Structure 1
Amino acid sequence: MTAEADARKAQGRYEGAIPLLKRALALYENVLGTNHPTVAKALSNLGVLHRERGDYAQAEQLHRRALAMREKALGPDHPVVASSLNDLSVLYRTKGDYARAESLAERALALREKALGPDHPDVAQSLATLAVLCGDKGDYARSESLHQRALAIREEALGGGHPDVALSLNDLAALYRAKRDYAQAELLSERALAIQEKALPPDHPAVALALNNVAVLYGKRGDYARAEPMHQRALAIQRKVLAPDHPDVAQTFHFLASLYLDKGDYARAEALSERALAIRKKALGPSHPDVAQSLSHLAALHIAQSRIDEAVATAGLATDIQDRNAAAVLATGSEDQKRSYMSTLVDQTHLAIALHIQHAPATLDAARLALTVLFRRKGRVLDAMTGNFASLRLSRDPGDGALIARLTSVYSQLAAEVSRGPQNAPPAQYRERLAALEQQREALEAEVGKRSASFRAEQKPVLLPDVQAAIPEGAALVEIAQYRPYHLRPDTRSGHWGAPRYVAYVLGPGGDPAFTDLGEAAPLEAAVDALRRALADHDLTHDPRPAARDLDRLLMDPVRKLLGDTRWVFLSLDGPLHLVPFGALVDEEGQYLVERYLFSYLTTGRDLLRFEDRKAASREPPLILANPAFDESSAPPAPEATHRGVRSIDMVTQRLLPLQGTTAEARTIAEFFPESRVLLGAHATEEAVKAVQGPLLLHLATHGFFLPEQPVPAALLTTPGHSPTLAELAALRQRENPLLRSGIALAGFNRRRSGSDDGVLTALETAGIDLHGTRLVVLSTCESGLGEATSGEGVYGLRRALTMAGSETQVMSLWQVDSGRTRELMQAYYQRLAGGAGRSQAMRDVQLAMRAEPSTAHPNLWASFIVSGDWRRMETQVRSPEAGKVAKGARGCACEQTGGEPHAHGAWLAALLGFLVAARRRRSPRA
């Protein structure tokens, strides 16, 4: 009976195989008892058949029984146990439960590799299972690597014509299709189909799968005449051997519906889409990702039919499902895995925006849907990582603290390894060291996610009315996003998607959202680059006003029409717009916008809800660190490296000089915080910064850096014996985490000694610092606000790292700044905080004062610093110092502080500031 059942299963005749296996199972139980391994095998085989039929509840019950029997009879580490784990993983992946599926797949793979060796066909099966999961979650690089390894094992062990080889080829083809590499996908799909048709009966379900894969790719290049009959043949096979409500049948309906939509046959497309949706809801449940896929397809169809209200409603259902699933996926995994998963939702995010902007500009529900999607998805990975770290930082479980400590240690090791470079090691060995540390980082970040998953799962979905209720009276939120238009008829190069554009939504504390399409991204981003170059001009000889006006005309002119009389603006930006100080734009009257608006910078409008829910209290007094001794350090000595390789040619050729003026800056700021701790010179170390635990304030006055990516020479990556130059070693940073390319210099920087505290504090290391409860971080450094600007996730640099670390507000610069002017600006900024101004308002007041003085009127001098995060006044103890008195050096200070007169320029700035603030008090917005 078992042999006959296996034969029918191999032929795809599942309905005929199930009764035979049930009879065999009953016989085995009568003869061998209920706990025998043979019984477990029968249960497992029967579970696979039920899964193939789409009966997932019965399949799960059978697989769990088989797993329990095998673990009891054979032990938890037996390779047969791995078979049950793999079966359950495939089942949970089919159901959309990626977290459980991945955990089981990883465990099965580890068992099989240990017991069977790395080249066994069962190992290939586990590799393929894990690879498909990675592809579902958007981790295409890992997925491809695993698929390639599985394919190589199967070809070597089973031969090139084996059906399992075809399975690997089909899986790889599906991955390349997801990556939009259609040419490579078509080659692999056609090869897989040829193998399946030769090795299997013509009506086998695997043949239907291969037919669909090839047909989809023919459709992508517009060859509908070849694609349609192949889909129809696949459907005929499935109707013959599968249940009518099997998910594979729904998938073929979906493929055919997509083809008819592209051809303009909307009636047939709708009928098939509705059938696919009904099957998926019944077989997979209402929240499965495939249900969301069917709903999104129906929304696109309704757009094509000009049924806008239905399109909006259907798209809303799809995005709700996607966001619920995203919450579960983002609760676990590393940052890279989170980013990969969110990348799978990009098209649907663009569709929601395009539905409103292109097809339903007058439909209020469409505007609300688009803005809600942005609130839920923009900066979502940063939010998830911040929540993961916060939940463990605030946990009382010692294991959570130990895990965070291990992760921050790996951050430091990775940063130090990149900082030192290969030293005397061959490039290949150096890359292996980096790869090993990156793997540790990924694993530990994933473990952090697992341990904090229950905390993150409690978070409620973001609703537009909640965000609107958090907008202060007199203010407006401007949410700017990049999107791609959706074209009804695809072309063979870009499919349905057009060139990137920008849109701005404006939302006040009451009323409906308004919007304006800002046009194509390319000219706007070119204007951003032009203005940034003009503002960063150190000679102050070029007038930045023309570039500032050009960008304002593209960006803020349309937005101003929607703002009306509002003068307080919350900015949630996207892409390179994050790197622009909006106060330096020039309006149609030739006025800098700082004179017209108070700008408060956010990652997303969702931040307004986070600021209302502040939980952590400050646990330490302020820490003020300045004038590091770049040639020395108070940290314990470490062995000198035999070769001082560093990560960029910029840093190789440059030795940093002391910033003597920052000592006075630190002393002046300490006057506002009598309990503060001041660290100068050799005491201003990386180790001291890493040791903080939620200080009220963290002020760092030193050099900052941001290193852009550079190409990696091919020889460095491919030639084992290649001896790299310093420039080539610098180019390795292209393969680094972007958080390793920005940071600040601290004591001992010029020595670049080995060890994890080498005088270079990277953004990656900063992310591991405990700043929960820190109300304000001020980076009085050059370019501290720069980083790798991404669409949807903000700037990967110190700004992001400080938010992940838990700080509420960050003050950072966008270009290189004059040390003396910075010192004066900072003194005036803290003076305004002491006077009760909000954190954003205080900076604006200082900038207005500098703007009014001829010697500092150029925006290079006053516009560099922006305030990101919580805009409100600090609730504690910024105290205005008594005249003539200076606070003593705090615990651990490297010097004895003495009294003294402030810099003359600082004195006039404070006086002018007081006059201007009084003059503007009635018309300036307040935080």
Structure 2
Amino acid sequence: MLALLLIGVTSYTQDIPKLYLDIESNFNSENYEACSKMEKALAELALQRNDTLVANGYYYIGFANSMLGKTEKAISQFEKEKSIRESLGLQSSEDYGNVLSNLVGLYFEIGNNEKAASMAYQLLENDKKNYGITSDVYVQTVLNTASVLRDVDKLKEAQTLLESNIKQQEKSSANYALLLLKLGDLYSYAGLYSKAGKTLSEVFPIIEKQFGLNSPEYLDALVITGTHYVRQGKYPEAEETFDQALDLLKPEEETYMSALNDQALVYRSLGQLEKAEKIFTEIKVMDSATLGTTHPYYAITLSNLALIQTDAGKYKEAENNLLKTLAIQKANGGTKSLTYTRTQTLLARVYQSAGQVEKAIPLLEQSSTIFKTKLGDKDPDYAWALFNLGMANWKAGKGSVGIKQLKTAASIITASLGKNHQRYAETSQKIAEYQWLQKQNKEAQQTFGEVFNNYYNQIDVTFPVLTEEEKAKFYYNKIRPSFDKFNAFAVQSKEEIPSVLAEVYDHQINTKAVIMLSTEKVKQGIKSMNDPSLMTQFEEWQGIKEQIAKLYGQRDESQSIDSLVNVANIYEKELTRKSSAFASQYIRKKYSWLDVQKALKPNEAAVEVIRFTNYNPENGGAFTNEIRYAFLVVTTQTKTQPDIILLNNGNELESKFMNFYRNSIRFQQEDPYSYKNYFESLADYLQKNKIQKVYLSSEGVYNQINLNSIRNPFTQKYILDEYDVHLLNNTRELASNMPDKRVGQAPVLLGFPKFNLEETGNKKVAETRGATRSITRGGITRGFRGGLLRYMRGEEDGISVLPGTEKEINEISVLFQDKPHVFMESQAAEHTIKEVNNPRVLHIATHGYFLEDEAPATEATQSQYVANPLLKAGLILAGAENFLLTGNLNESGDDGILTAYEAMNLNLDDTDLVVLSACETGLGQVKNGEGVYGLQRAFRLAGTKNIVMSLWSVDDEATQELMSLFYKEMLGGKTQHEAFRVAQQQLKLKFKQPFYWGAFIMVGE
């Protein structure tokens, strides 16, 4: 709601007409209808006199009209008030400043942004003259003007205004804090998230000192920070921050409604639709009481409520609320306004979701006509209206009509936004699917290529500065589903277009683990160089990238992306030249299967395991419930494209076959089926082509099994003995293998952590909540805490201790010639691992955790939050139980949990080997194996050459003996892979069952 400023109280010596007294009386009693009707009479009085009394009358009627939603009339009255005060020479008065402020808000409300900005600058100059640049009044006007400039997309002007005025204030003063807070909000709004986070971190202690923890200013800072998290896609952090704000806010405070509204939208993004619907229902009741049921803001609340109900499948309720919204918007702006049209489009979406496509089409036809009339036939919004109409026609069985509309939409988007815009990819994706449906396979292949060129560009340009959550959302909701569709298309069309299999392989190796880029590790590498100018260059490059990422999601390219990209490229060349850390993370060469082939020797094969959900392109397209797997194989004999071996029983591989494998291992029973289920088809190919060594990159369920532990029922030999299987995170590693010049430090052995420490932690650190803690560090959110605690329960409602790891560490420590650093009990802590500096070997013996994957994205969940997959996997260390129970950090500021995200930022560039012992990854119901893969990949990105980790927990004796054998062989001169394979074969002589010797796998070399 617009906050209108009140006029001052004035004493009048002249006679006061009854008309004025009636206007004032109606205003004071909030009888706005009666007040508004006196407009004509006041105009007649104004012909007789020109004084402050008439000016005040115009103010009263203007305010009344504003409260009634008659914005145009309100503006007219305030303009008349302004003219009178100017004619009386009262530009220096407080009332003149107030009328300027009111006009700023009202012009902005009706969309007259230029007029709003013009009035804002007048107000700024007025207050500067009257009060001075350090006055509270002037600073407040600067803040308001910056808000207006931001809202009219004059971001650079707003930034300059704030930055210049911050310099005029005493550092750490109240006004300094307010301006800094506004600047942080502006940075966040502009997509400059790094600058925003830094600025907001600086402002909290100043606001706390100047205003206090319960002050409106502190609460504003919380709400702004929560909104910052929403923009970044950090919804769990946003939820905690809004919770903190709402605990302190009173319902009558203006910020309360804003925070409540944002909290509801956060719940929607988190998929907590019941909570979101409850909040919007409460807001609806409050709006009804304070604004009435015909006010435009009430309509916005109804529309938000309908969004939630649509997501929840409550289509009738959503329809009713949108029809009410349309009625209000019709009364306020007519049926041709863009606001009305956008609500129509939303109603059409409800009908489509409810399966009533025929009811949606007329609405979409009307919407596209209005967009075309209002905005022109080259506008992106018109293109998107055509896209929606085209999809509706396709779903209604009018595919030939729909495809024309989709192609027209794509042409407009190409001309107005360019082929690198997100909407171009979405539109082209649907065109490719329609071509596939029509068996126009070569055309579909080409159009799919356009989609993936767009995605590769977005990855290169935006991924370095997206948050982990944003990267995960883009990957799981956009890239992964698109490649699943393409894989399904490739399998169907491979006979007609064999080359499509080469594209599948290339896409796999170039996008696998693409979300695991670490900006923090680059920062650490640059910081260690002690070159301030290089760090400045990096931060400037980061800011430019953030601007580009923001622009790629907007409806137009009013700012030149090309020029920003050119500037970013200049920075990248310089940073690549000076920083190897930067080059290794951000300069990603594209590889093909041919590059992998060049690295192979005769009798060797590179195998990529592909997992995808089958897709049916009919009636607009939909995923089926069928999971499929495939081996894509490259050898030195491969001619034109990789060979494919299909496994069409993916659902069984991930359910009953997996359960049989696990139970056979656990209960040490004969397993005559797993070889046939998981390996036989590949083995037949390997035998036929005389392949002995296999470089295999796993995916899905293959991350949850140890192929070496499976026995060939025909030869009674284990795969361990029949093939030399090297597990890789990605077969592109064969092509990108560089000469190894590692010189690691003394080994670090860490285990037997004390999960429950006596000390509850530093009180000051422990009390840090929500906004401030989340800004300064990443970590485990409240929702993850609950899941982890349930996951890690031991026999006595705590995390089960691992006594065998103490003996394991002690026995291993004596094998090294150079004395290793040993950390156990309370020293087996998170900060200990984070402080390691390139040990030659890092051995960690503790619990691992691997939480469930999310359900695949659907049309209804496309906009929802995707939890950071790098938080779904990690290691449990000293003090973790204290944190999981209380949420408090310990004295070192740790939570006792090393996530995969934190692991990939470790300093392990000269580390040869990381061993993760006692991880029990088999406990997690990891549907696609992403959690296990994430932890492996994280340590590889941190720099280590190889990783050894356990897939299930075995008895202490077998683990200790395997480790001793492995280290003896390795320290005796064998390569790590050879040493590990020999150790397992030797242990197999003593312990016949794979339960004992097959629990561990090595990934990397």
TM over 0.5: yes
Match for residue 738 of structure 2 among 612, 616, 621:
612
Match for residue 245 of structure 1 among 367, 378, 393:
378
User: Counterparts of 1:306 and 1:247 in 2: how far apart (Å)?
Assistant: 30
Residue in 2 that maps onto 1:679: 822
Matches within 5 A, 1:546-557: 546=672, 550-557=673-680
- Residues 331 and 180 of structure 1: CA distance in aligned 2, closer, same or farther (over 3 Å): farther
Question: What is the Cα deviation at residue 766 of structure 1?
Answer: 5.4
Q: Does 1:316 align with 2:460?
A: no
Residue in 2 that maps onto 1:531: 661
Letter of the structure 1 residue corresponding to residue 694 of structure 2: V
Match for residue 776 of structure 1 among 903, 913, 920:
913
Residue in 1 that maps onto 2:524: 392
- Residues 660 and 124 of structure 1: CA distance in aligned 2, closer, same or farther (over 3 Å): closer
Deviates more, 1:297-306 or 1:368-377: 368-377
Rg (Cα) greater in structure = 2
User: Counterparts of 1:699 and 1:84 in 2: how far apart (Å)?
Assistant: 46
Matches within 5 A, 1:75-114: none
User: Counterparts of 1:344 and 1:173 in 2: how far apart (Å)?
Assistant: 23
Residue in 2 that maps onto 1:596: 722
- Residues 65 and 371 of structure 1: CA distance in aligned 2, closer, same or farther (over 3 Å): same
Q: Does 1:374 align with 2:508?
A: yes
Question: What is the Cα deviation at residue 227 of structure 1?
Answer: 0.8
Match for residue 144 of structure 1 among 265, 279, 299:
265
User: Counterparts of 2:881 and 2:116 in 1: how far apart (Å)?
Assistant: 76
Question: What is the Cα deviation at residue 619 of structure 1?
Answer: 4.2
Question: What is the Cα deviation at residue 174 of structure 1?
Answer: 5.7
Q: Secondary structure at the match of 2:610?
A: strand
Match for residue 64 of structure 1 among 153, 156, 181:
156
Residue in 2 that maps onto 1:808: 945
Residue in 1 that maps onto 2:615: 486
Question: What is the Cα deviation at residue 276 of structure 1?
Answer: 1.0
Letter of the structure 1 residue corresponding to residue 698 of structure 2: L
8 Å CA contact 2:970, 2:979 repeated in 1: yes
Match for residue 928 of structure 2 among 791, 796, 812:
791
Q: Secondary structure at the match of 1:363?
A: coil
Residue in 2 that maps onto 1:662: 808
Residue in 2 that maps onto 1:570: 695
Q: Does 1:743 align with 2:876?
A: yes
Residue in 2 that maps onto 1:622: 747
Q: Does 1:463 align with 2:463?
A: no
Question: What is the Cα deviation at residue 598 of structure 1?
Answer: 1.7
- Residues 560 and 336 of structure 1: CA distance in aligned 2, closer, same or farther (over 3 Å): same
User: Counterparts of 1:83 and 1:535 in 2: how far apart (Å)?
Assistant: 60
Question: What is the Cα deviation at residue 535 of structure 1?
Answer: 1.0
User: Counterparts of 1:98 and 1:631 in 2: how far apart (Å)?
Assistant: 39
8 Å CA contact 2:825, 2:878 repeated in 1: no
Deviation track 1:443-467 (CA, whole Å, cap 9, x = no partner) reads xxxxxxxx99976884235332475
Taking only aligned residues, the RMSD between alpha carbons, in angstroms, comes to 5.7
8 Å CA contact 1:331, 1:384 repeated in 2: yes
Matches within 5 A, 1:893-912: none
- Residues 127 and 452 of structure 1: CA distance in aligned 2, closer, same or farther (over 3 Å): farther
Letter of the structure 2 residue corresponding to residue 529 of structure 1: N
8 Å CA contact 2:180, 2:199 repeated in 1: no
Residue in 1 that maps onto 2:434: 301
Deviation track 1:253-292 (CA, whole Å, cap 9, x = no partner) reads 1001112222343322222112211221222232111111
Deviation track 1:812-832 (CA, whole Å, cap 9, x = no partner) reads 222222333333323332343
Q: Secondary structure at the match of 1:392?
A: helix
8 Å CA contact 1:390, 1:772 repeated in 2: no
8 Å CA contact 1:212, 1:230 repeated in 2: yes
Question: What is the Cα deviation at residue 251 of structure 1?
Answer: 0.8
- Residues 191 and 360 of structure 1: CA distance in aligned 2, closer, same or farther (over 3 Å): farther
Q: Which runs of 5+ in 2 are unaligned?
A: 1-70, 77-102, 130-137, 169-174, 240-261, 269-275, 536-578, 767-787, 854-866
Q: Does 1:235 align with 2:372?
A: no
Residue in 1 that maps onto 2:645: 516
Residue in 2 that maps onto 1:920: none
8 Å CA contact 2:435, 2:441 repeated in 1: yes
8 Å CA contact 2:229, 2:238 repeated in 1: no
Question: What is the Cα deviation at residue 363 of structure 1?
Answer: 1.9
8 Å CA contact 2:605, 2:691 repeated in 1: yes
Residue in 1 that maps onto 2:1002: 867
Question: What is the Cα deviation at residue 582 of structure 1?
Answer: 0.5
Residue in 1 that maps onto 2:711: 586
Q: Which runs of 5+ in 1 are unaligned?
A: 50-59, 404-450, 711-733, 872-927
Matches within 5 A, 1:85-484: 134=233, 144-145=265-266, 156=287, 158=291, 161-167=294-300, 170=303, 189=322, 192-345=325-478, 346-360=480-494, 362-381=496-515, 383-385=516-518, 388-389=520-521, 391-393=523-525, 395-396=527-528, 458-465=586-593, 468-469=596-597, 471-473=599-601, 474-484=603-613
8 Å CA contact 1:5, 1:17 repeated in 2: no
Question: What is the Cα deviation at residue 477 of structure 1?
Answer: 2.5
Letter of the structure 2 residue corresponding to residue 858 of structure 1: Q
User: Counterparts of 1:848 and 1:184 in 2: how far apart (Å)?
Assistant: 65
Question: What is the Cα deviation at residue 313 of structure 1?
Answer: 1.3
Letter of the structure 1 residue corresponding to residue 1003 of structure 2: S
Q: Does 1:652 align with 2:786?
A: no
Question: What is the Cα deviation at residue 215 of structure 1?
Answer: 1.0
Q: Secondary structure at the match of 1:778?
A: strand
User: Counterparts of 1:191 and 1:623 in 2: how far apart (Å)?
Assistant: 66
User: Counterparts of 1:377 and 1:117 in 2: how far apart (Å)?
Assistant: 45
Q: Secondary structure at the match of 2:969?
A: helix
8 Å CA contact 2:521, 2:581 repeated in 1: no
User: Counterparts of 1:47 and 1:799 in 2: how far apart (Å)?
Assistant: 44
Letter of the structure 2 residue corresponding to residue 234 of structure 1: S
- Residues 746 and 832 of structure 1: CA distance in aligned 2, closer, same or farther (over 3 Å): farther
TM-score by length of 1: 0.66
Residue in 1 that maps onto 2:967: 830
User: Counterparts of 1:202 and 1:104 in 2: how far apart (Å)?
Assistant: 45
8 Å CA contact 2:880, 2:897 repeated in 1: no
Deviation track 1:486-531 (CA, whole Å, cap 9, x = no partner) reads 212359xx94444333233223355421223312432111212221
Letter of the structure 2 residue corresponding to residue 501 of structure 1: R
Question: What is the Cα deviation at residue 688 of structure 1?
Answer: 5.3
User: Counterparts of 2:357 and 2:527 in 1: how far apart (Å)?
Assistant: 57
8 Å CA contact 1:390, 1:806 repeated in 2: no
Aligned sequence identity (%): 19
8 Å CA contact 1:483, 1:501 repeated in 2: yes
Residue in 1 that maps onto 2:13: none
User: Counterparts of 1:742 and 1:793 in 2: how far apart (Å)?
Assistant: 15
Letter of the structure 1 residue corresponding to residue 714 of structure 2: E
- Residues 470 and 811 of structure 1: CA distance in aligned 2, closer, same or farther (over 3 Å): farther
Question: What is the Cα deviation at residue 48 of structure 1?
Answer: 7.3
Q: Secondary structure at the match of 1:599?
A: strand
8 Å CA contact 1:576, 1:790 repeated in 2: yes
Matches within 5 A, 1:634-653: 648-650=792-794, 652=796
- Residues 356 and 46 of structure 1: CA distance in aligned 2, closer, same or farther (over 3 Å): same
Question: What is the Cα deviation at residue 594 of structure 1?
Answer: 1.3
- Residues 459 and 171 of structure 1: CA distance in aligned 2, closer, same or farther (over 3 Å): farther
- Residues 456 and 181 of structure 1: CA distance in aligned 2, closer, same or farther (over 3 Å): farther
Letter of the structure 2 residue corresponding to residue 600 of structure 1: H
Q: Does 1:694 align with 2:819?
A: no
